[in-house]
């Protein structure tokens, strides 16, 4: 099965990670899920990339995990990465869950809290590498308050890619996304 199963997988949900034999890597196989594992894909493309997924142990307990919503490869939103992995689901680096939540906006695999963060998007110019997404702290001049709703003009000149700012609707306050092209993200 091996590589053909990964490349031929029309829907993530039909294939699950199976342990590889000593001479074979972990792979996706139809309906053969190890109950204590999830299939982690690099670079989190939900099995659509050229690399096989690797089997990782599911977390047993996510109590105490902070609310940090993420988008799973099954198109559902989970309260945290731990919650998604616990359900046997890897994260979708390109997002695509399509869920609107009060005061949160999608930003790749995660959701940014628009009351304190903006989404920094660094476009990849390499087809097989996904775009990078980061929730970054809003500058003080962009924090909502005093009844005002800031616009893209609130970003100071030293913020990278501020000229490519956009406003994103949520079911609460609007959020901001800044898109960078030809610029590597700071690490």
**Residue ranges with strand state E in the chain:** 15-18, 27-30, 37-40, 54-57, 70-71, 77-78, 104-107, 110-113, 117-123, 132-137, 165-168, 175-181
Which pLDDT score, from 0 to 100, does residue 147 have?
Answer: 76
Measured CA to CA, the distance from residue 71 to residue 143 in angstroms comes to: 25
Tell me the sheet residues that pair with 29.
Answer: 16
Rounded to a whole number of angstroms, the CA Rg of the chain reads 19
pLDDT for position 42: 75
State residue 17's pLDDT score: 52
Mapping DSSP to helix (H, G, I), strand (E, B) and coil, where does residue 6 land? helix
| Contact call for residues 150 and 144 (beta carbons, < 8 A) | yes
Residue 37: what pLDDT? 80
HSE, side-chain direction, 13 A CA sphere, residue 94: 17
Burial (Cβ within 10 Å: 0-12, 13-18, ≥19) of residue 71: buried
First-to-last alpha carbon distance for the chain, in angstroms, is 38
The segments of the chain whose pLDDT lies below 50 read: 1-16, 18-33
Q: Residue 6: what pLDDT?
A: 31
Residue position matching structure tokens 């609460």? 172
């Amino acid at each position: 099965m091996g590589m053909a199963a990964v490349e031929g997988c029309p829907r993530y949900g039909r294939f699950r990670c199976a342990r590889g034999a000593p001479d074979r890597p972990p792979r996706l196989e139809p309906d053969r899920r190890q109950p204590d594992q999830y299939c982690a894909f690099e670079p989190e493309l939900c099995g659509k990339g050229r690399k096989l997924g690797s089997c990782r142990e599911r977390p047993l307990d996510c109590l105490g995990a902070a609310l940090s919503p993420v988008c799973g490869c099954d198109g559902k939103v989970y309260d945290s990465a731990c919650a998604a992995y616990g359900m046997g689901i890897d994260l979708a680096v390109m997002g695509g869950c399509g869920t609107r939540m009060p005061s949160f906006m999608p930003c790749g695999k995660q959701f940014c809290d628009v009351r304190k963060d903006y989404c920094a998007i660094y476009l990849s110019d390499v087809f097989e590498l996904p775009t990078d997404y980061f929730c970054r702290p809003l500058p003080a001049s962009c924090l909502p308050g005093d009844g005002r709703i800031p616009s893209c003009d609130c970003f100071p000149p030293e913020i990278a890619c501020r000229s490519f700012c956009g406003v994103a609707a949520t079911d609460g306050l609007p959020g901001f996304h800044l898109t960078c092209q030809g610029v590597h993200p700071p690490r």
